[in-house]
């Protein structure tokens, strides 16, 4: 199927994808919504990057999405590229995959018989591969909204509009200065399911301070698997992971404190 076509069409041009049949889902206007429903932020699969960037409610609940969308590609790609297409493309450098994984979002998959839900952390099976099967469609993504939560996304790329050399997103829920729950998403650095699980576990119950953040960031850098490529050597990418994770955690903690003030 084709949504914005910004990933699929280039792949077809390069003959990396050769679908026999292409279903255009752009007519499914009912999947182009962004709304808070109870204690969840719901984002339809056909919401465009630009919609998410402009959504006041999404920015208020999760600044991480605005941070990430500001650095996804360029305005032309953002006008057509969709949230669902981003997740389903499963590019290891996709920014939203890391942001949604950090926020512990759930993917709602519509099947021929009904619907099933899968945590975004289990949605990607590997590069360019997801749990979506034949006859299934990603319909929406649901993100739990919790009081006292802050979030942020930090990315380094070679030039404006380019894919990440490395990026880190953090979602922190604090309780009286201590970290109740931490989500850390990493992209472009070979983190399994786009998350830094060991660093998240390290943070749980600790003080939300600089020492905790820098130690967690070092753990995140140690446990990811960046590949040396045209964007830089492995040690440079690990250095970026540590620095960007620290910055994202610092800003997420500030957001959490502001949310509870
Ligand atoms: C020049 C350029 C720069 C870019 N830079 C970045 C960047 O910096 N960061 C970043 O994160 N991304 C970047 N992208 C990717 C961009 O975000 C794409 O828009 C996005 O990856 C795919 O969204 P789409 O709607 O265009 O998907 P499509 O190309 O239409 O589809 C992609 C894949 O997902 C499947 N699919 C789409 N929607 C669904 C659905 N609802 N259910 C099931 N399967 C579905 C399609 O069948 C296809 O296999 C860039 C793209 C371009 C062209």
Overall average pLDDT of the 195-221 stretch: 98
Contact 18, 12 (CB under 8 A): yes
Ligand 1 neighbourhood includes 2 CB (under 6 angstroms)? yes
Ligand 1 neighbourhood includes 246 CB (under 6 angstroms)? no
Query: For position 213, what pLDDT does the model report?
Result: 98
Query: For position 259, what pLDDT does the model report?
Result: 79
Give the tens place of pLDDT for each residue, 15-40.
999 999 999 999 999 999 999 999 99
Tracing tokens 């493309």 back to the chain, one arrives at 89
Ligand 1 neighbourhood includes 11 CB (under 6 angstroms)? no
Query: For position 260, what pLDDT does the model report?
Result: 75
CA of 5 to the centre of ligand 1 (A): 7
Ligand 1 pocket: which of 1, 2, 4, 6 to mutate (most atoms within 8 A of CB):
6
Ligand 1 neighbourhood includes 137 CB (under 6 angstroms)? yes
Nearest to 152 by CA among 69, 71, 249: 249
Overall average pLDDT of the 114-119 stretch: 97
pLDDT band at 82 (very low <50, low <70, confident <90, very high): very high
Q: What does 40-84 look like in DSSP terms, one character per residue? A: EEEEETT-BHHHHHH-HHHHHH-HHHHHHHHTSS-HHHHHH-BHH
Helix (H) or strand (E) holding 34: strand 34-37
pLDDT band at 9 (very low <50, low <70, confident <90, very high): very high
Query: For position 150, what pLDDT does the model report?
Result: 97
Ligand 1 neighbourhood includes 138 CB (under 6 angstroms)? yes
Is 261 a residue whose pLDDT tops 80? no
Give the tens place of pLDDT for each residue, 210-225.
999 999 999 999 999 9
Counting from 1 in the atom list of ligand 1, the atom nearest the Cα of 109 is: 42
Query: For position 254, what pLDDT does the model report?
Result: 96
Q: How far apart are CA 259 and CA 257, in angstroms?
A: 5
């Amino acid at each position: 199927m084709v949504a914005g076509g910004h990933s699929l069409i280039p792949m077809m041009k390069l003959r990396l994808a050769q679908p026999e049949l292409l279903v255009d889902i752009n007519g499914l206007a009912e999947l182009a919504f962004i709304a808070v429903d109870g204690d969840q932020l719901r984002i339809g699969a056909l919401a465009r990057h630009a919609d998410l960037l402009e959504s006041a409610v999404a920015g208020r609940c999760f600044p991480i999405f605005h941070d990430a969308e500001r650095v996804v590609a360029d305005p032309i790609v953002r006008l057509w590229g969709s949230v669902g297409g981003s997740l389903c493309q499963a590019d290891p450098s996709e920014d939203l995959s890391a942001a949604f994984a950090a926020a512990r979002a759930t993917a709602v998959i519509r099947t021929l018989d009904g619907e099933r839900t899968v945590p975004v952390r289990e949605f990607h099976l590997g590069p360019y591969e997801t749990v979506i099967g034949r006859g299934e469609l990603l319909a929406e993504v649901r993100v739990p909204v919790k009081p006292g939560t802050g979030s942020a996304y930090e990315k380094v790329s070679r030039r404006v509009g380019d894919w990440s050399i490395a990026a880190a997103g953090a979602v922190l829920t604090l309780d009286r200065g201590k970290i109740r729950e931490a989500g850390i998403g990493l992209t472009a650095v070979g983190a399994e399911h786009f998350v830094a699980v060991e660093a998240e576990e390290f943070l749980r119950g600790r003080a939300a301070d600089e020492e905790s953040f820098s130690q967690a960031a070092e753990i995140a850098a140690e446990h990811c698997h960046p590949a040396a490529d045209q964007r830089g050597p492995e040690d440079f990418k690990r250095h970026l992971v540590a620095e960007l994770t620290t910055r994202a955690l610092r800003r997420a903690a500030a957001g959490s404190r502001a949310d509870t003030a």
